[in-house]
Amino acid sequence: MRYTGSVTNALVQSMARNCEDALRLMEAALSDCPDRLWETDLWPDEAPTGPGPHGGLHGSAPWFLAYHALSCLDYDLAGEFEPWEPPQPFDENTWSFPNRMFTKAELLGYIDYCRGRVRRTLDALTEDAAARPLPGAHRYHGTLIVVDLAKVHGLIASIGRLAELAIQSGRQMSNGHEHRIRRRLSRKVYVVGVGVTKFEKPGSKEWGYPDMALEAGTKALEDAGIPYDAVEQACVGYVYGDSTCGQRAVYGLGLTGIPVYNVNNNCSTGSTALFMSKQLHCSARSASST
């Protein structure tokens, strides 16, 4: 999808390509998902298909995950600046939860619809419109619309899981997507240690963020069963702090000369730091295997 609008914001220009990649992957995953898995819940214990608490259906079957990702994208394209009016039959919902199962053909049609919506919405953006905060009725009110439209990670995550189902079924992925999806799925990284501090109100205790990092970091290392000198890199997320909070936070754990990356990305700081750690690990693993 080539961006043809007038906005010079690099984020806007990249979104067209990112959304098209995500929609193309979902299209391949849906097309190749076996019929016998279409209504099978991926997480039958945690999210079995059934009525939601406020009406409509909820679950973890491939058709539902695809619908949920597409409807979220469709809604965020409207941004509460205009009425959200999903096309038929996707207007058959209760607070965005579907009232029935949708077929493969219907969802592939929804992909085409969303593809056109992304193109028209981005091409129509102006510099002023891209800098507008979302109105109060939106779930992410106050966030800039251009930032909200960039949130396609959930969509891609759903796509990856759907593609994994198709691959595991032993069917051949069409249009040369199998290698690309297998490569994505092979980059699995595991969290082997976790540590947290007690949730405290700021100012209720005589301690600072280095003390919190020391307590949580020590617990995480103990949980993982490794010493600090086995850690090769650190990605540290923070908001409203000094320019090198990351270094100050981990110095209490040790001074081993590892690179420390400071991550500041507002509400997505934690997930961004975790994702960055995953990318660094995958890059190192790829380099060591060549």
Alpha carbons 154 and 163: distance in angstroms, whole number: 14
Residue 223's H or E segment, with its range, is: helix 209-224
* Same domain as 224, residue 89: no
Tell me how many domains the chain contains.
Answer: 2
* Same domain as 157, residue 15: yes
Q: What is the pLDDT of residue 11?
A: 62
* Same domain as 270, residue 144: no
Q: What DSSP designation does 203 have? A: T
Q: What is the pLDDT of residue 287?
A: 57
Which residues are 235's β-sheet partners?
261
Global confidence as pTM: 0.59
Cβ neighbours of residue 33 closer than 8 Å, sequence gap 6 or more: 62, 104, 162, 165, 166, 169
The answer to whether residue 193 sits within a structural domain is no
Query: What is the domain-level CATH number for residue 130?
Result: 1.20.120.450
Domain boundary among 170, 185, 200: 185
Query: What is the domain-level CATH number for residue 273?
Result: 3.40.47.10
Q: What is the pLDDT of residue 170?
A: 46
Over the chain, what is the mean pLDDT? 80
DSSP E strands: which ranges in the chain? 50-51, 57-58, 93-94, 97-98, 234-237, 260-263
Q: What is the pLDDT of residue 224?
A: 86
Query: Which residues does the chain have with pLDDT short of 50?
Result: 153, 170, 172-173, 185
* Same domain as 168, residue 51: yes
* Same domain as 125, residue 217: no
* Same domain as 149, residue 20: yes
Give the DSSP letter string of 88-146: TTTT-EETTEESSPPPHHHHHHHHHHHHHHHHHHHHH--HHHHTPBPPTTSTTTTSBHH
- Structure confidence by residue, pLDDT tens digits, 8-43: 666 666 666 677 777 887 888 888 888 888 998 888
Q: What is the pLDDT of residue 234?
A: 94
Q: Token pair of 164, please? A: 């994994």
Range of the domain at 233: 209-288
* Same domain as 178, residue 247: no
- Structure confidence by residue, pLDDT tens digits, 184-226: 545 567 788 889 898 877 677 788 889 999 999 999 999 888 8
* Same domain as 144, residue 264: no
